[in-house]
Structure 1
Amino acid sequence: TQADSGGHGSSFGHLQRSFVWLLFFIRRNKVISCQGIFNPLAVFSVTARIKNPLTGTEIWSRPQTVSHPKEKPFPPVVTVLASTHDSLVVSWKSNTYGNCQLRHRPSRTPAWTQVPDFFSIHSGQNLNFSITGLSPFTEYRCAVACRGDSGIWSDWSSDVRGKTLDKEPSRLAEVCYRVEETTSREALRLHLVWKAANPQKGEGRVLWYELSVEPGGKTRNITETTALLVVKEGNYSVSVRGFNTACSGPTTHVQIDTQRRSNPPSVRNLWVISCYPENRTLQVEWEISAAVSHVIVQLRSDASPSTSRWLRVHGSTTSAGLPDVEADESYQVTVFPVQNQQCGPARSLSASLPHGALIEAVGLKVLRVTEAEVTIKWAWQPKSGPIRVSRYMAALRGDPHSRAWRLFPDENQHTFVNLTPDTEYTVLLLADSRPVSYVAVKTDLSQGPGAVAIATPLLLAVALLILSVLSRTVFRSLCFPPVSSPRGSTAGLWLMNSDRQMFTGSILDTADFQVTEALAEKTLFSVDLSVHRPSEEALDEDFSPAAVSSRHDQLPALSLFAAQITDETAEHLHQREYDLCRSQEDEEGCPFRELLLDGFCGGLMTETLGGQSCSPLMCETEYLSNSCFQVETED
């Protein structure tokens, strides 16, 4: 069926022309009357034909489908009939014939999951459907939309909420421990840490844990995943089991010997980096100085401390990513190493997805300055502003070689070494290469690199010189007693004076030693001394025993003789000895200027003194008998 209508077109250009145009309405269903073409449910196509009366040409348009506006069906009413730990049973009723579709999502997740199947339904029919594969103890939202014969979909129904039930814990708790000494020798601290169940992975929710320790029979209920016990030395058996509203889970047993402990060291340089909004992952970095079997990374929400996520990585790994982190929450990131079920001390750091690590470095200052070193110090505090920093650095600039050091929360000072003396430097605190604060500093003036090297040998030389002088003095005073020098006495100086007057007399007269009343016969001793006079250069002011000994070897042989002397012969001998001495004086001088006899068996000591005269020494027998000389008497 077609309906025609004519009309005049508008003019184009400078010429006015008349056009004839026709509209053709074609309906899919059979048309009984022309008035039935435009009923509310009719769907038809319209085609236009334009004819130019002057040229007779016609132009046809493409068919266009046209329908009357239709009303949307009313959305169905949805209810939740039942639930299990992993499913929800949803029911709804439609008021039209057609198809329906269903969608659902967790209440904390914005993305919907749509069931791929379409459900055929009759008007007024109730339809039930079971949504499976859900997480235990999780709240979900569900909605349904339907369409009738018109093909128009209704709006989504109001969200209906349903919550799955608890599932009994299905995973053994992963337990590790650490033993620490206390001030008391008998008591020890036993730290226990275990992994919480993850409901999102179908492990079941845990409301509390039952902890038992044997021997002792101690049992306690704990809502956290850590416990601290005070024990004594010995062997213990620890049991951990989780509970929820459904049932209890399996039991984990750990055997602990407090005497065999090898606690691994804690991790160092812990830091958290966020790449939000590119992804919803927190990147955790750390360092460890010892070999361990694995490292535990724990993520605990500040809003819900009882629930946590536990990530286990290999011991050689130094970083890990924590995905699917909520942007509107802050977390505590905890890292600790584990070796043979013994865990090291934990380190924690606050972080959030928008800001990364929630801590900042402040208060940069110089702690100590030397000629080649600068020590700086800083402090850590909770982040005061919404600034995300991937890393903090301390940089030293001032000479051709700049130095930088990355800062971590487990340290608060650093020393820059091998600096140039008497040089100005600037210490910068950088946040992602942006200067936050700076401090100017100047190294001390150096005394020269070789000052110490030069001073040390000099001091050693002076010390050795002083030691040698002292040792020489002490050695001489102990081993070589001092000997008197003639230069130290007035008599000696007088005797050594060559300008003194000559003494021609006798030193001793034998007549003074003769005792006529006591002895009938006199004995005359004559000392024959025939040696050469030593020179003045041979005299040593510092006279030593060795020198004395050598001079003893040069003493003249003493020829002592004794005979029966009469008054006549004594005078004759005296004159002979005097003449002999005078003759030797004329030829070469007196052989000895003075003879000193040290009696009493003390030895013979000679000393060359000044003087020109010399006379033989004559002693009485009684006098010599008390000296060191032996008296020989002629028969």
Structure 2
Amino acid sequence: MEILPSKLLPTLTVMSLCMFSDEVTVRNTDLKHCKNDNKVCVMNVRDCDPRPPSSLQKYFNMSCYYLISQDSVTCEWTQDSNSHSESDASLIFSSQWAVRSCQVFNPAAFRTITARMKSDDLDIWSQPRSVLLYEIIKPDPPKLTVVNFTQNSVVLSWRSRSGGICRLRYRVNNTQRWSQTPDLKSGNKQEQVYTIEDLLPFTSYIAAVTCREKSGFWSDWSSNINVTTLESVPSKSPQVCYRLEYTDSGEPFLLHLMWKALDLYDAGSRVLSYQVSYRSVIERSTSVTIIKNVTEVVVPLEVEEGNWSVTVTAFNAVGYGPSAHLNIATQRQKSRVPSVRNMWVSSTFPAVNGLRVEWKVAVDQPSALPVSHFDVQWRAETHPSTSCWSTVDGSNTSAFIPDVEPGESYLISVFPIYEQQFGSPQSLNASLQQGALMEVDQLKVFGVNKTAVSVVWAWQKKSGLIRVNGYSVMLQGDSEKHTLFLWPDQLQHTFLNLTPNTEYSLILLADDVSRITIPVRTDFDEVPVVATATPLLLLAVTVLIVSILSRTVYKRYFFPPISSPRNSTTGKWLMDSNRKSSTEQHILDIKDFQETDICGVKNAIVVAPRLTDLHEDTALLSFGHFAVKLSDVKLETQYVSNSPLPTEHQLQCYLPEVFESDKHHQTRHANIWFPQKEEEDRRHLDCQTSQQGSDVVKCCFHELMANADDCCVSQITCEPEYVMNASYLRKSETDCSLICETDYIPNIAVVT
């Protein structure tokens, strides 16, 4: 690519052209003669020289007018110039004839006017303009006077030339908006009279007038005149609404009354106060009427439960206006008008001198009544007694307040209305430059757990001059973000569903600009650890319990303990080879067991189990199987050598099996448990027959076992070691006596 030398590049010069306006007023006394030209009068002697060739001559859009009362001429024009230096403007007056004096201003004079602007780098002359001073006469401002005034009108008058046109303007004293009448023709009369109607009673107004004559120039506005209309009785009753605030049981209710302040026209000027009277309505009784005079538009009253009659009347110095009446039942009501929430005020300055009010309606109130409209009230803090009102439809949640005074602070309130009831209002201070005069302060964290972070903050009156249209709080993590807009009626919030053991940043934002940043970390979540450790712990406990039960309960049921005869006292005695037999013997007399039957014959009663109860594996029989109680058995403590032996009966004795009983009442043969002792015991047991005339027979157990049917016709002597757990069964009617050792009698069971 070929690059051109810089000297070949075109040069572009940008010149800024500025439009400026100049106005120059000169009096006769300000003009001076030129020595070299007696036809010219100038403001500055330097203007007496002819126009230099280097100067510029341009056409100015210049207009001039002549004021007779001040004997002065004023010219004004607009000019575009690229000069940035300050210029000095002057006027040059010339005539066709020589003038003796520079007192050249009179209505019949014909003059040529030239304007000159001189600066350090420019010298510009306007094209001369010739005028007849009579044709550029500007009327003097009329003098305005007040003729009369009433409650809603004012009569004014002023003087003007005939055939002229005048205009009248007026406004309320503390406002900036003027109202202007149409052009008023004077006709042939020089004095003009005009009546301004539909004014507000007891209101101060400012008025002024201007007129135009044949020259076409409008006079300056006359001096402002102040006039105040008369005061009148209020012509309209206030629109009253109510709200019930219930307290604890047994305490009076709070009845809140609210009404819109009457505008100046309906109020008949000003409202000095409102008279509120209320009384309880009870059938067939007279209640006391309570009267209060208040200046506010919201009044709380303490009332009891029941029906109440309320009257509100506005009054001023002239008298009382119409009254508003309400009949209110103060019983507890389920349906209420919802309250106003999340109110905020933002400024539209400098585009428009106004404030935008926004709010929301509470949706968490059960059985809420629908809102028919909202009443918005605002009043200047410097004039709290004067308030303005605006009504907004119930479907809207915003309102615009126009014509807000700069530098003034306002208290703005919003009331939700349904018929004659209103909900809880909300108020906020605001100004045109800053909007809402509230800011967030002292943001901090007051609670943290595994999945939630709770934050609190406070609101304070704004101290800086920075306008903020909204505040918000953002809780930001690595992968998640939670944002909450803040409102003056909120003081705390809890962020939920957070991630445990995670680092977050709590950020306070003012119009998306960070103000405060607070680090916060959620708590550690022990649930996964517990969920993992709990099964392991339960498994360990289960294994421990099973291991313990396997040695106790399970072994008892599945492996029941079997008592060992070897370790019992009897077993040890039976296995003892060095035992000694007692020489003392005890005789069991069989006669003690004889009973007389139906035939009168005494027979020995042999107690035996029922044959159906005798089985090999049957446990020892209980006492319920015996025909004779053991308490009837009499044991002899001494040996009876010559026991009589009945001969008419035979006693058949059987040696039963020897049983060892465990805790489950299982029986076993003694020989099964002591196989080694069996042969030794048999050698010591023999059957001895007494040869001394006694019919005592000693029978050995092994012989009795071998021949169970042998009967004893006399007494039987039993060795102590084999009497244990013995049972004797009778098969024939034979009288027998048992000779037993004393130590083992308790173990003998005699059964029938």
Q: Do the structures match in fold with TM over 0.5? A: yes
- Which runs of structure 2 are paired with 1:61-80 in the superposition (5 Å)? 66-69=130-133, 70-80=136-146
Given that residues 293 and 340 in structure 1 are in contact (C-alpha distance below 8 angstroms), is that contact kept between their aligned partners in structure 2? no
Match of 1:404 among 480, 483, 488: 483
1:142 is matched with 207
Change (3 A) 1:231 1:155: same
1:495 aligns with 2:560: no
Q: Does residue 221 of structure 1 match 2:293?
A: yes
Residue of structure 1 in register with 2:469 after alignment? 390
Provide Cα deviations, 1:153-192, integer angstroms capped at 9, x if missing partner: 2211101112233454333322222333456825333222
How far 1:581 sits from its partner (Å)?
Answer: 5.9
Percent identity of equivalent pairs? 36
Aligned-partner Cα distance in 2 for 1:231–1:469: 77
* 2:584 equivalent to 1:520: no
1:93-148 per-residue CA deviation (whole Å, 9 max, x = no partner) reads 2366633222222223323332222322557x321101223334332221112233
In the alignment, which residue of structure 1 is the partner of 2:81? none
From the CA coordinates, give the structure whose radius of gyration is larger: 2
Match of 2:422 in 1: 343
Aligned ranges 1:41-440 → 2 under 5 Å: 41=108, 66-69=130-133, 70-94=136-160, 98-121=164-187, 125-182=190-247, 185=250, 187-199=252-264, 205-214=270-279, 215-262=287-334, 263-279=336-352, 280-289=354-363, 290=365, 291-294=368-371, 295-339=374-418, 341-440=420-519
Instruction: Say if 2:472 and 2:509, in contact at 8 Å, map to a contact too.
Output: yes
The count of corresponding residues between Structure 1 and Structure 2 is: 527
Pair 1:578–1:226, CA change in 2 (3 A): same
SS in 2 for 1:450: helix
Shift of 1:400: 1.8
2: distance between equivalents of 1:220 and 1:268? 31
Q: Deviations over 1:209-259 (max 9, x none)?
A: 121112312222222212232232221100111113444322111112222
SS at match of 1:396: strand
Q: Is the CA contact (8 Å cut-off) linking 2:142 and 2:159 kept in structure 1?
A: yes
Distance in 1 (CA, whole Å) between partners of 2:212 and 2:348 is 44
- Check conservation: 2:586, 2:742, Cα contact below 8 A: no
CA distance, structure 2, for counterparts of residue 377 and residue 433 of structure 1: 19
CA distance in 2, matches of 1:249, 1:168: 6
The answer to whether the Cα contact below 8 Å between 2:414 and 2:426 also exists between their aligned partners in 1 is yes
1:172 and 1:269 map into 2 onto residues whose CA distance is 32
Q: Deviations over 1:486-515 (max 9, x none)?
A: 46x994289389xx9675999899964363
Superposition deviation, residue 625 in structure 1: 10
Which residue of structure 1 lines up, in the alignment, with residue 124 of structure 2? none
Query: Following the alignment from structure 2 to structure 1, what is the Cα–Cα distance between the partners of residues 447 and 380?
Result: 41
- 1:450 is aligned to 528
- Tell me, yes or no, if the aligned pair for 1:211 and 1:220 is still in contact at 8 Å: yes
Structure 1 residue 414 displacement after superposition = 2.0
CA apart distance, 1:598: 11
Distance in 2, matches of 1:43 and 1:518, equals 198
d(CA) in 2 for partners of 1:150 and 1:403?
Answer: 74
2:240/2:420 contact within 8 Å kept? yes
**Which secondary structure does the structure 1 equivalent of 2:568 belong to?**
helix
Q: Which residue of 1 aligns with 2:625?
A: none
The residue type equivalent to 2:640 in the other structure is T
* Shift in CA distance, 406/554, structure 1 to aligned 2, threshold 3 Å: farther
Do the aligned partners of residues 246 and 277 (structure 1) sit closer, same or farther apart at CA in structure 2, a change above 3 Å counting? farther
| 1:92 shift after superposition | 0.9
Q: How far did 1:357 drift?
A: 1.1
**Aligned letter for 1:267?**
V
Q: Which residue is 2:733 aligned to?
A: none
TM-score normalized with structure 2 length? 0.59
SS at match of 1:77: coil
Which residue of structure 2 lines up, in the alignment, with residue 608 of structure 1?
Answer: none
Task: Check whether the contact 1:392–1:429 (CA below 8 A) recurs between aligned residues.
Answer: yes
Q: Is the 8 A contact 2:204 2:226 kept in 1?
A: yes
Q: Which runs of 5+ in 2 are unaligned?
A: 1-50, 54-95, 98-103, 113-126, 280-286, 589-638, 672-687, 709-720, 728-736
Instruction: State the Cα distance separating 1:394 from its structure 2 match.
Output: 0.6
Task: Pick which of 154-163 and 87-96 moved more.
Answer: 87-96
Letter paired with 1:574: C
8 Å Cα contact 1:271/1:286 also seen in 2: no
Q: Which amino acid aligns with 1:528?
A: L
- Pair 484,428 (structure 1): closer, same or farther in 2 beyond 3 Å: closer
When residues 628 and 83 of structure 1 are mapped into structure 2, their CA distance, relative to the original with a 3 A threshold, is farther
What letter is aligned with 1:274? Answer: S
Distance 2:494 2:391 in 1: 35
2:71 is matched with which residue? none
Residues of 2 paired with 1:144 and 1:415: CA distance? 66
Q: Residues 496 and 391 (structure 1 numbering): CA distance in 2 closer, same or farther, change over 3 Å? A: farther
Contact 1:74 1:95 in 2 (8 A): no
SS in 1 for 2:299: strand
* 1:283 Cα deviation from its structure 2 partner: 1.8
Q: Which amino acid aligns with 2:522?
A: T
Q: In structure 2, how many angstroms separate the alpha carbons of the residues matched to 1:553 and 1:248?
A: 124
> Whole-Å Cα distance in 2 between the matches of residues 309 and 496 of structure 1?
119
Classify the secondary structure of the residue corresponding to 2:428.
strand
In structure 1, distance between residues paired with 2:252 and 2:548: 62
- Counterparts of 1:179 and 1:470, CA distance in 2: 72
Aligned equivalent of 1:578 = 702
Give the letter aligned to residue 436 of structure 1: R
Q: How far apart, in 1, do the equivalents of 2:670 and 2:397 lie? A: 98
Distance 1:385 1:173 in 2: 40
Please, what is the CA RMSD of the aligned residues?
A: 5.0
Q: Please state how far the C-alpha of 1:335 moved relative to its aligned partner.
A: 2.7
The one-letter code of the counterpart of 1:67 is V
| 8 Å CA contact retained: 1:178, 1:190 | yes
Find the residue that maps to 1:451 and give its secondary structure. helix
Describe the shift of the 1:579–1:621 C-alpha distance in structure 2 as closer, same or farther (beyond 3 A): closer
**Pairwise CA distance, 1:87:** 2.4
Deviates more, 1:459-468 or 1:76-85: 459-468
User: Once the 2 structures are TM-superposed, how far is the Cα of residue 570 of structure 1 from its aligned partner?
Assistant: 7.0
Shift of 1:574: 0.9
Bigger drift between 102-111 and 521-530 goes to 521-530
Residues in 2 aligned to 1:434 and 1:94: alpha-carbon distance in whole angstroms: 63
Question: How high is the TM-score relative to the length of structure 1?
Answer: 0.69
Query: Which whole-Å CA distance do the structure 2 matches of 1:42 and 1:292 have between them?
Result: 82
State which drifts further: 232-241 or 460-469: 460-469
Q: How does 1:433-582 map to 2 (within 5 A)?
A: 433-447=512-526, 449-454=527-532, 486=563, 491-492=567-568, 495=571, 503=577, 512-513=586-587, 515-516=639-640, 519-521=643-645, 526-530=653-657, 547-548=664-665, 551=666, 567=690, 574-575=699-700, 577-579=701-703
